[in-house]
């Protein structure tokens, strides 16, 4: 729900930042949650699916209501019209399966990663909930942070 630091150590006081996880980015949790006794914050160890980096992230901060990570479901709801493409690298008008419309629900087939291009799009491979035979790659968020899909 908020940006969070991915770091190299479970203990905040001894950790070094590896990078920031963006809002909407997916992390595969491998261990945890574990309490950092020095800060009183629960942390998890996992892999950022966007680029494969392994590290520790805080689930929430000390202030009430400051959540950084939330459990994901295996589905996304379309917030804004976006194209469903045949391949991860397809981002233009080529190889469009169809346009997704606001409110449609997608079931995840392969979790998000960046498209191999200069555009830095976060994408997910999914199929339409209403028609499982329709599947492809959709953009979760673009480089400017515009969100097209949200966890459903």
| Model pLDDT for residues 123-149, shown as the tens digit of each residue | 888 999 999 899 999 988 877 778 898
C-alpha 58/C-alpha 35 separation (Å) is: 9
Tokens of 42: 């629960």
Reply yes or no on whether the pLDDT at 80 is more than 50.
yes
| Model pLDDT for residues 29-74, shown as the tens digit of each residue | 889 888 888 888 889 999 887 788 999 999 887 766 577 787 776 8
Maximum CA pair distance of the chain?
52
CA–centroid distance for 71 within its chain: 11
Cβ(44)–Cβ(34) below 8 Å: yes
CA–centroid distance for 114 within its chain: 10
Query: Please, what is the average pLDDT of the chain?
Result: 84
C-alpha 124/C-alpha 115 separation (Å) is: 10
The torsion angle over the Cα atoms of residues 139, 135, 130 and 75, rounded to 10 degrees, is -50
Q: What is the pTM of this model?
A: 0.59
């Amino acid at each position: 729900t908020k940006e969070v630091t991915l770091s190299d150590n479970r203990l905040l006081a001894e950790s070094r930042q590896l990078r920031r996880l963006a809002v909407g980015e997916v992390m595969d949790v491998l261990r945890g949650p574990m309490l950092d006794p020095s800060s009183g914050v629960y942390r998890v160890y996992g892999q950022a699916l966007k680029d494969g980096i392994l590290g520790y992230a805080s689930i929430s901060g000390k202030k009430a209501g400051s959540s950084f990570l939330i459990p994901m479901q295996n589905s996304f709801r379309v917030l804004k019209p976006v194209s469903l493409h045949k391949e991860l690298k397809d981002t233009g008008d080529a190889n469009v399966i169809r346009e997704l419309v606001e409110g449609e629900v997608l079931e995840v087939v392969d979790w998000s990663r960046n498209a191999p291009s200069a555009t830095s799009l976060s994408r997910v491979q999914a199929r339409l909930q209403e028609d499982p035979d329709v599947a492809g790659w959709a953009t979760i968020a673009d480089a400017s942070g515009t969100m097209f899909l949200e966890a459903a």
